[in-house]
Chains A and B, each alone.
Chain A
Amino acid sequence: MNYFLRGGSRIIISTSTNVYTNLALERFLAENIQHQPKSKLLILWRNSPSIVIGRYQNPYVESNLNYLFENNILLSRRYSGGGTTYHDEGNLNLTILTTRDNYNRRKNLEWLVSTINDSYVNKFSLHITKRDDIILEDSINKQQYKITGSASRLTRTYAYHHFTLLINTNLNHLRQSLKSNDRFSIKSNATESIRSSVTCLSNYESTIQYETLIDILAKSFWKQNQQTKWGSDYLYDYIDPQLFQNQLKQFIDELKSDYFLYEVTPPFTYTILAHNNRTIEFSIKNGIIEDIKNSNKDEYEKFYHKQFYLMYNDIKQL
């Protein structure tokens, strides 16, 4: 680990596919590396099926939690902003970690777009929108599809920009996971995702594979960054986060906790049309039901001051 913490430009590939471990690894590296000006750390990672919501989002608005539980899809919240993404092994995560001053989101996206466009010249064309989304233009049906999601975290000492790339993801799971039944029952100031049609690169070039793409990206990264390569054959290092459980533990515990998944959700109200046509409104703050309007005495006693995420299924049955 000390080897990685020395700083300087580097490419690291995580061998873990656990979303909490990978998010913890990203944060640990950000906080502990001796960042050097002009250098960039590229982290590549993939997760087993998971939903990742942005720091100030509401999981009930963004995803169908029952669908996640039924299909063993993990729910997680990241430290950066932005909208909700669905991850599986067909979705590549890239993180570019720099000093605060060297943060440049557009430049990172331009690198990705030019690399892929150059490598798959006649297959498809990617371009970047004003909102810093990467779009694939389908020349046959003239549709535009989003293929990445971007988010960033900026602190005094470091900045990271991470983004996803849909290579070969299960779009059925993606759509079902992101379709919340509660979107219209919830009122909140939490950041809402902007929904877009998505597609995978493999739909346009069936030979695209994670392994070949990694090599293409690595070579292009070094070409663009002209920084010291650690040895002339060096492309990237693998890191096994299992070997660093102790260092990552505090972040993994936080990322997995009910506190971070549910309780830090910005305040919201949840409205339900109960069986006898009453509209019951729950007000939730810090994960706790602080107020209930229009409930009867039994309901009030049952739900008042309880944790919303624990009561959720009971509430839906009203």
Chain B
Amino acid sequence: MSFIFPLRHCSRLLLLNNQIPRFFSVSSAVLQNTSTSDFERYYTKKHEWLNIIDKNSNEVRIGISDYAQQALGEVVYCELPTIGTKYKKSDSFATLESVKAVSDCYMPIDGEITEINEKLKEEASLINKSPYEQGWLAQAKVDDKNIKDIEKSLMNEKQYQQYIKGELDNEKAT
């Protein structure tokens, strides 16, 4: 069984775990898993992000960063992958059209697509309005080895913010 909790909801459940006796039937293992660090985003140099949404099934959610959506401009069309397709890290898995430019999005990690964000079919601009929440692109199942490597192979929030700052400084210089 896998549970997907939004951040606000999960903090209330943690509180519940402390107050309610052990015989409560909801799996406390699941509640233990829903700590804030599981929702921490990791980023690629090409401005894609992922976060682990389910530690039991090694499922991650993937999208593009705020920096990326700003650079693209308004997204008018979104081509998403087929569920079940397997990709390697850096493979193009989605294509976005924005203000006349068609751009590819690249997998931050090896994975098999388990879900795509159907809302984007009607409202591609969710990617601009809410790049980290409602504008996610796809979810993928990742194997154990790659999940463990996330912190080594991708940037955490702090590293990513520094990386963007570097990019912006470079842009000003040219």
The residues of A with any CB-CB pair to B shorter than 8 Å are 54-56, 79-83, 105, 131-132, 150-156, 189-191, 266-267
Separation of A233 and B167 alpha carbons in the complex (Å): 38
* Contact indicator per residue, chain B 66-107, by CB within 8 Å of chain A (1) or not (0): 000000000011010000000000101001011111111010
Residue of B nearest to A154 (CB): B103
Residue of B nearest to A56 (CB): B77
State the main secondary structure of chain A at its contact with B.
Answer: loop
CB <8 Å contact, B79 and A56: yes
Separation of A190 and B77 alpha carbons in the complex (Å): 7
CB <8 Å contact, B102 and A81: yes
Not counting A83-B100, A154-B104, A189-B121, a sample of 12 additional A-B residue pairs whose C-beta atoms are within 8 angstroms of each other reads A54-B97, A56-B102, A81-B76, A132-B99, A151-B102, A152-B102, A154-B102, A155-B92, A155-B103, A155-B104, A156-B106, A189-B77
* Chain A residue contacts of B99, Cβ below 8 A: 81, 131-132
CB <8 Å contact, A56 and B106: no
CB <8 Å contact, B90 and A81: no
Assuming the contacts A156-B90, A191-B77, asked whether A151 and B101 have C-beta atoms less than 8 A apart, the reply is: yes
Residue of B nearest to A153 (CB): B102
Separation of A83 and B99 alpha carbons in the complex (Å): 10
CB <8 Å contact, B77 and A266: yes
* Chain B residue contacts of A80, Cβ below 8 A: 100-102
CB <8 Å contact, A154 and B97: no
B6 CB to closest chain A CB, in angstroms? 27
* Contact among A132, A155, A191 with B76 in the assembled complex (CB-CB below 8 Å): A191
* Contact among A79, A132, A189, A266 with B102 in the assembled complex (CB-CB below 8 Å): A79
* Contact among A81, A131, A189 with B101 in the assembled complex (CB-CB below 8 Å): A81
Nearest 7 CB-CB pairs, A to B?
A82-B100, A152-B101, A154-B103, A81-B97, A81-B102, A56-B77, A81-B100
Residue of A nearest to B102 (CB): A81
* Contact indicator per residue, chain B 103-132, by CB within 8 Å of chain A (1) or not (0): 110100000000000000110100000000
26 contacts between A and B (CB under 8 A): A54-B97, A55-B97, A80-B101, A81-B76, A81-B101, A81-B102, A105-B101, A131-B99, A132-B100, A151-B100, A151-B101, A151-B102, A152-B101, A152-B102, A153-B101, A153-B102, A153-B103, A154-B101, A154-B103, A154-B104, A155-B92, A155-B103, A156-B92, A156-B104, A189-B77, A191-B97
Tell me if B46 is interfacial: C-beta within 8 Å of chain A.
yes
* Contact indicator per residue, chain B 34-70, by CB within 8 Å of chain A (1) or not (0): 0000000000001000000000000000000000000
Separation of A189 and B106 alpha carbons in the complex (Å): 23
* Chain A residue contacts of B76, Cβ below 8 A: 81, 191
A226 CB to closest chain B CB, in angstroms? 15
B104 CB to closest chain A CB, in angstroms? 5
B147 CB to closest chain A CB, in angstroms? 24
Separation of A105 and B97 alpha carbons in the complex (Å): 15
* Chain A residue contacts of B104, Cβ below 8 A: 154-156
* Chain A residue contacts of B122, Cβ below 8 A: 189
Separation of A107 and B150 alpha carbons in the complex (Å): 38
B98 CB to closest chain A CB, in angstroms? 8
A271 CB to closest chain B CB, in angstroms? 19
Most buried by A among B76, B77, B99, B101: B101
* Chain A residue contacts of B103, Cβ below 8 A: 153-155
Separation of A109 and B124 alpha carbons in the complex (Å): 28
Residue of A nearest to B72 (CB): A154
CB <8 Å contact, A150 and B100: yes
Assuming the contacts A156-B46, A191-B97, asked whether A55 and B121 have C-beta atoms less than 8 A apart, the reply is: no
A39 CB to closest chain B CB, in angstroms? 14
* Chain A residue contacts of B77, Cβ below 8 A: 56, 81, 189-191, 266
Separation of A278 and B117 alpha carbons in the complex (Å): 35
Separation of A82 and B90 alpha carbons in the complex (Å): 26
* Chain A residue contacts of B92, Cβ below 8 A: 155-156
Separation of A102 and B104 alpha carbons in the complex (Å): 17
Separation of A79 and B124 alpha carbons in the complex (Å): 19
* Chain B residue contacts of A190, Cβ below 8 A: 77
Residue of B nearest to A80 (CB): B102
Separation of A150 and B90 alpha carbons in the complex (Å): 28
Separation of A132 and B102 alpha carbons in the complex (Å): 16
Separation of A153 and B92 alpha carbons in the complex (Å): 14
Separation of A311 and B106 alpha carbons in the complex (Å): 37
* Chain B residue contacts of A132, Cβ below 8 A: 99-100
